[in-house]
Structure 1
């Protein structure tokens, strides 16, 4: 109410502001679309020279988002459609380049399988019929909006089917190139079944304390640059922000408490409590009965002792002040058993008759007259007339339902009348002929009229919050952001690694506006801007920006790189401290013992007590019995190994079973081909400009 009154008072200013905003939008749009920018605005992406139309793409996104339901986000839908369109485009480019086509016979065969269960394309025996398909296509030539729309859908369906066929043909050709030999099968057999026994010395990296090995930023940077593919990241930005929330001050809360206290006497004496609530309250009057457990926990014990006309409050619930007046008290059951016959307005599929509202009421009155004179006919009439499928099989009956389960008119009749009563009520479903068959657990209920006032920030408070936010923004632009925050008793909250297509910011929520601002070309590191986010002003500062793909920063990569470089340095130190030429001498020089490991294989290179060490086990398989390896830098330490025994698996007559392992792996080729094509594709992605 307070907000609505504020809007009414300042209507002319809002009209002016909206008009200026629309004008700015139109001018901005015209400027943006002028000159050479039009192509980018109309193109979601360019993939190896092929443009994806903005209109088509966003149409698919909207349709898919609707199919996901009300809780879905544009980001979710866009991600799915992007992957689908990117895959189709890359695959189709390969198909076109190779000149792969399909025959009409192949299309017909695919359609016969895809449409076999659709009654539209089945003959009288339930089998797919090409004649039915031809007849369907002819029916689409009718000059009606429905036929034209259906024809376009059919054309699109055929095109998608053709694309699917040729792309599957392409993938089949690629899979056909994956041929595994018996030699590869034998090699796999050896990897899994040849075994060795070893003795070894393991000098763990943990022998040297981490703090004794210093890794410099320069070393981390050099490693990142030497391994760019491992550390490349998409365009991203970092921000930090503070926020000013528009919330009611203590003065605002007390003023609202005074407002509602001043209403108490007037509310108590008002003859038309329903109109009073609808006029004065922020929530409309709710005409229903309340059981004790339906009321707020903080008031139910008190208000349930009140008599009609008594007013309880003011009391606070969440962010509201309330006055509740008990307007009626009675006894009522907590559950009811009833049966009904529903006569809908319009077509009734039970008796196949279409009725107007008046005709439906006349029918309901006639049925009521019959069942009042002979209740035994009720179930018969349910079968003949009711359109309620939920109760039809049970004679129109609903067993012991609680107060809030049924639509209002049905609920009120069955709970407020007595057992055995019969009558007619109208709901949005039609006319119900109802018999109340039973009521249980009579207890006290009250009908309450409640005046609710939302606790909101006053105009003065809103202006004060706006002013403080604006002053912070101005000061942060001219000075040091963190110092200004400290002077205002605020702690900036960092949000790092924000991608160009991200939608949600931790602590802020879904906000593409801030993300789009951070990625604008003219926005630089250190820039500050204030944003309206619901009832909060967010003042954000851009703290890092990579507009193109780039390498991770030292800070980001440290968690990966430091352990690698540290272990390399530890390995060098260990090697320098090792002495001796045999296992026992090496072990003695490092104060460790010689250990043994049995039945090691190359397919599972795990050494008990040491961990997974593929390089160490691989080196051991390259030695003969009795031979020693050199020192080996493993995953978990430095090793020296001596082979005790080599147990070759017996020769097989046929290695086809192991060849099939490679053949089975080729089944994952579909996703592998797509990922490979995507990796080498030239993709200009403009999606961020459209949402």
Structure 2
């Protein structure tokens, strides 16, 4: 309190000091931004083979992408989508420019005639695409007002996108033409699929030697990683561990919340209008719907149907609230209903193309009701002539057996609370409905419940205590061993590994670029500890590993992949050392195995019954003539020796074009992504996105 009083007394003086400090900070930034001494503002998101992507342009596209994705769109997702699109565009542009490829105006016009064919703005009186209409549209958006400039920019972007699409399509077609499969390749594919062999074989499985009998050292794993770097290269990564301190109510806060709700018992019980009382005294509004037993909240389900009208159940806790529930009314209610309707919408009715005011729509609805009440057989005709609900016109306006909460409230109430056969006019946000109730079934008990809800508030004292606890833990973790401090305090230190520089989601925390940016920041080093405000919580984070350059996986990370490979190699060597003899029978006898047979093997499906998929073994067998044997072969699942019993070549064909065409089709489907991946792999890319997001 003394400190607060001191601040109040010196308020003006402190404001002046803070203002001067901020001014100095801003001035320093302005000066440095204009100098070349390392203070220049970074304005490049990426450099792709020398082509710069500017920060302003990239951020604008990200904002547009987020708007396109809708409310609550994930920024990281939008960034990645824009990045993939921009990277592909730049790489393809560089390729087409290097080849001197261009797009003619005729090609653009032809593409526009296809893309805009179904847009009424660009159609003539016959509903066909009109180039004159397109020219007319472009002329109409040439104004200097903001709306016209925005439309013109959108149109120019569309034309540029169309041009890029044509260029990329032409490039892909050119590559496809160069990769066309020949008839010789078609014949080879035919042979792979249809030539067959019958074999005898001996198979000594690797499982014959226990894993524990074969040792694979960390040094051997490390050597394998270095010998196969592309397989084990990883992008910059960090590992962290954290302890979370949630800003949640204390036991005292919970008891205070319960007492506050309990204090309303008498007033709520005496209230004649329970709905109005809830509206004035609850954190949630009153729900005037009927509720079937199956839809009642679990907390009151077993009680609320068995207490008298006007009785109150509670206080009871649901999540972070305390509640009082009062039975307002009860009845038997159908589980589902069936009705038909004629919708007279406000504004334009697509059925008869007439625009109506609310008064006109109501007058028409009442008139139609009079007609169909007098003669129900005219209902279907009236639906066809007047209804603005395309979803029910074909069924004569009928909606079959819908649940209570499916329709908007007025439509629902008329269908469920009236009687079968009732007809009337109901107003909803869609317009006026002439409704006939056709059926109701499966009646069950239902109640209307008024519930006073109070959120359990976390008091200032509790918030202060949580902040203090988090700050003390942060200080102790900086000066001690993180896990020991966490264990001593009874906290759970949660590790998160392999976080990428552009990741956004942290398991257990959620989207949080601040933590990731801190971990990858130039100032952060392994062992550093920092505290972050995250979603009504404090998170104290320690950086446990940091790799800022592309690197190879560690032995521990790659062990699960490499160990089985090296283990099987060693097992194969041991098996070979134990084999004696040169024939299948000799090998089988020396290993106590059986000589087995397999028929109709092909190279396109190299699966040996009883052994598994073995492409190397089947391929080696196809290299032998009938009666010949292979040497020992190290396969996927064990060590083999194979003898070819018969080679059954498929009959020659007059033409292998069908198989060549199949190869072309298979290659064509994936060629776009393969080309992009190849260009990306060969490109010199400086990716600075993490500096901005």
Deviation at 1:78, TM superposition (A): 2.9
- Residue 609 of structure 1 corresponds to which residue in structure 2? 610
- Residue 5 of structure 2 corresponds to which residue in structure 1? none
- Residue 685 of structure 1 corresponds to which residue in structure 2? 687
Stretch of structure 1 that moved more, 254-263 or 67-76: 67-76
Task: Give secondary structure in 1 for the equivalent of 2:603.
Answer: coil
Number of residues of Structure 1 aligned to a counterpart in Structure 2: 669
- Residue 260 of structure 2 corresponds to which residue in structure 1? 259
Contact 1:329 1:444 in 2 (8 A): no
Stretch of structure 1 that moved more, 290-299 or 660-669: 290-299
Task: Give secondary structure in 2 for the equivalent of 1:173.
Answer: helix
Task: Give secondary structure in 2 for the equivalent of 1:152.
Answer: helix
**How far apart, CA to CA, are the structure 1 residues paired with 2:655 and 2:383?**
74
Distance 1:201 1:353, change over 3 A: closer
Distance 1:180 1:400, change over 3 A: closer
Deviation at 1:495, TM superposition (A): 1.6
**How far apart, CA to CA, are the structure 1 residues paired with 2:572 and 2:73?**
52
Deviation at 1:324, TM superposition (A): 3.3
Which of 648, 673, 676 matches 1:674? 676
Distance 1:269 1:604, change over 3 A: closer
2:313 matches 1:312? yes
- Residue 471 of structure 2 corresponds to which residue in structure 1? 470
Deviation at 1:48, TM superposition (A): 0.9
How far does the alpha carbon of each residue in 1:185-217 deviate from its partner, in whole angstroms, 9 at most, with x for none?
444444444444444333322222211111111
Task: Give secondary structure in 2 for the equivalent of 1:593.
Answer: coil
Stretch of structure 1 that moved more, 314-323 or 546-555: 314-323
**How far apart, CA to CA, are the structure 2 residues paired with 1:216 and 1:198?**
38
Task: Give secondary structure in 1 for the equivalent of 2:640.
Answer: strand
- Residue 542 of structure 2 corresponds to which residue in structure 1? 541
Distance 1:213 1:343, change over 3 A: closer
Task: Give secondary structure in 2 for the equivalent of 1:486.
Answer: helix
Stretch of structure 1 that moved more, 153-162 or 462-471: 462-471
**How far apart, CA to CA, are the structure 1 residues paired with 2:543 and 2:414?**
63
Q: How does 1:330-479 map to 2 (within 5 A)?
A: 352=354, 355=357, 360=358, 364=362, 376=374, 404=405, 407=408, 448-479=449-480
Distance 1:28 1:302, change over 3 A: farther
Distance 1:454 1:556, change over 3 A: same
Stretch of structure 1 that moved more, 174-183 or 218-227: 174-183
Stretch of structure 1 that moved more, 130-139 or 164-173: 130-139
Distance 1:283 1:575, change over 3 A: same
Deviation at 1:445, TM superposition (A): 6.8
Contact 2:424 2:436 in 1 (8 A): no
Distance 1:266 1:574, change over 3 A: same
If the length of structure 2 is used for normalisation, what is the TM-score? 0.82
Task: Give secondary structure in 2 for the equivalent of 1:589.
Answer: helix
Distance 1:248 1:102, change over 3 A: closer
Contact 1:323 1:450 in 2 (8 A): yes
- Residue 8 of structure 2 corresponds to which residue in structure 1? none
**How far apart, CA to CA, are the structure 1 residues paired with 2:305 and 2:207?**
70
**How far apart, CA to CA, are the structure 2 residues paired with 1:426 and 1:179?**
65
- Residue 6 of structure 2 corresponds to which residue in structure 1? none
Task: Give secondary structure in 2 for the equivalent of 1:487.
Answer: helix
**How far apart, CA to CA, are the structure 1 residues paired with 2:652 and 2:232?**
45
Contact 2:314 2:323 in 1 (8 A): yes
Stretch of structure 1 that moved more, 404-413 or 416-425: 416-425
Deviation at 1:548, TM superposition (A): 1.6
- Residue 508 of structure 1 corresponds to which residue in structure 2? 509
**How far apart, CA to CA, are the structure 2 residues paired with 1:483 and 1:27?**
40
Distance 1:524 1:361, change over 3 A: same
Contact 2:206 2:571 in 1 (8 A): yes
- Residue 594 of structure 2 corresponds to which residue in structure 1? 593
Distance 1:400 1:613, change over 3 A: closer
**How far apart, CA to CA, are the structure 2 residues paired with 1:369 and 1:191?**
76
Distance 1:332 1:439, change over 3 A: farther
Contact 1:307 1:329 in 2 (8 A): no
**How far apart, CA to CA, are the structure 2 residues paired with 1:79 and 1:609?**
46
Structure 1 unmatched ranges of 5 or more = 1-12
Deviation at 1:563, TM superposition (A): 1.0
**How far apart, CA to CA, are the structure 2 residues paired with 1:607 and 1:167?**
44
**How far apart, CA to CA, are the structure 2 residues paired with 1:366 and 1:599?**
77
How far does the alpha carbon of each residue in 1:410-438 deviate from its partner, in whole angstroms, 9 at most, with x for none?
767888899999998876556x5978879
How far does the alpha carbon of each residue in 1:260-292 deviate from its partner, in whole angstroms, 9 at most, with x for none?
222322443457766654444322344556566
Contact 1:632 1:640 in 2 (8 A): yes
Distance 1:133 1:368, change over 3 A: closer
Task: Give secondary structure in 1 for the equivalent of 2:532.
Answer: strand
If the length of structure 1 is used for normalisation, what is the TM-score? 0.82
Task: Give secondary structure in 1 for the equivalent of 2:636.
Answer: coil
Deviation at 1:646, TM superposition (A): 4.1
**How far apart, CA to CA, are the structure 2 residues paired with 1:576 and 1:588?**
14
How far does the alpha carbon of each residue in 1:38-64 deviate from its partner, in whole angstroms, 9 at most, with x for none?
987433322111122333333333333
- Residue 123 of structure 2 corresponds to which residue in structure 1? 122
Contact 2:333 2:446 in 1 (8 A): no
Distance 1:384 1:651, change over 3 A: closer
Task: Give secondary structure in 1 for the equivalent of 2:204.
Answer: strand
Provide the aligned C-alpha RMSD in A. Answer: 4.4
2:120 matches 1:103? no
Q: How does 1:192-203 map to 2 (within 5 A)?
A: 192-203=193-204
Deviation at 1:524, TM superposition (A): 1.4
How far does the alpha carbon of each residue in 1:559-588 deviate from its partner, in whole angstroms, 9 at most, with x for none?
111111112222222233333333333333
Distance 1:271 1:232, change over 3 A: same
- Residue 7 of structure 2 corresponds to which residue in structure 1? none
Structure 2 unmatched ranges of 5 or more = 1-10
Task: Give secondary structure in 1 for the equivalent of 2:86.
Answer: helix
